[in-house]
Amino acid sequence: MTVAVEAATRSGADVLETVRLMGVEWGMKIVAALLVLVVGMWVAKLFKKAVVKLMERAKVDDTLIAFVSSLAHVGLQLFVVVAALEKLNVKTASFIAVLGAAGLAVGLALQGSLSNFAAGILMIIFKPFKVGDVIDAAGVLGTVREIGIFTTYVDTPDNRKTIVPNSKLMADNITNFSANAVRRVDLVAGISYGDDIDKARAAIEAVLKDVPGILETPAPDIYVSEMADSSVNFKVRPWCRPSDYWAVYFAVTEGIKKKFDAENITIPFPQRDVHIYEHKEG
């Protein structure tokens, strides 16, 4: 009986010792994992701030700064989590493989969104236009209000908000009306064949001098471009800043009409003579 009791006591002591050793071992692993997790997350946060500062010094676009810093932060956080799991003897190879397969599946499902994302990054890097520019692209004409990672917001001239996928913008021709410092206004003014060309040119020149917003350099062009069916046509090409384009366009058009009327210069318009013949039955 005594032998049996002693054996049971030794067995219980062995179990307790084993539990104690396992507790110490796993306690140290848990502490190490937590230490890696806490320090790693802190380093990831510092790394994100460092990336933001470096990109701000390089004068990178704010949208790209936010995206790249967030991507770097998340990537480093994932690395820290994997390192913490390694401290707990968790086999992370299969875990990483599952994440890779899931990422591939998500990528295939979001193929269109990823193409918009890639186009957005290219737009931010190469800057074919910026916020406030007037563009004509992907069948949309208007003012750029916001450039996002996936879409660009454009306000049309009649103040409709249009959301354009970035991939469509990058796949199409982009006309940026605001990119250059000056812009030419192209107009046509017609006079009749009976009017004096030099008098008409002087009248147009007088109008261009009075319209605000027209630049002296480059100088406006005024020349006879065509002898049409019912008129002699002038090409009138003043230069202005992009922001003054429509004001100059409308002011010059109205000014030429009023000046021609005041100078008795005829503005021809299409006419059709109709001849009526009476048919008499004999």
Please tell me whether residues 134 and 219 are part of one structural domain.
no
CATH classification of the domain holding 215:
3.30.70.100
- In this structure, are residues 154 and 140 in contact, taking their beta carbons and an 8 Å threshold? yes
Would 232 be classed as within a structural domain?
yes
Please tell me whether residues 7 and 97 are part of one structural domain.
yes
Q: Report which of 106, 44, 34 is spatially closest to residue 75, judged by C-alpha positions.
A: 44
Domain with 143 in it: 128-176
Would 122 be classed as within a structural domain?
no
Q: Report which of 151, 155, 156 is spatially closest to residue 169, judged by C-alpha positions.
A: 151
- In this structure, are residues 113 and 120 in contact, taking their beta carbons and an 8 Å threshold? no
CATH classification of the domain holding 37:
1.10.287.1260
Q: What is the pTM of this model?
A: 0.62
- In this structure, are residues 155 and 161 in contact, taking their beta carbons and an 8 Å threshold? yes
Number of domains in the chain: 3
pLDDT digit string (tens) for the chain, length 282 residues: 565 555 555 565 666 666 666 666 667 777 777 888 888 888 888 888 888 888 788 777 666 677 677 778 878 888 888 777 777 776 666 666 666 666 656 554 445 577 888 888 888 778 899 889 999 999 999 999 988 878 899 999 999 999 999 999 998 899 999 999 999 999 999 999 999 999 999 999 999 999 999 999 999 999 999 998 889 999 999 999 999 999 999 999 999 999 999 999 998 876 666 767 776 665
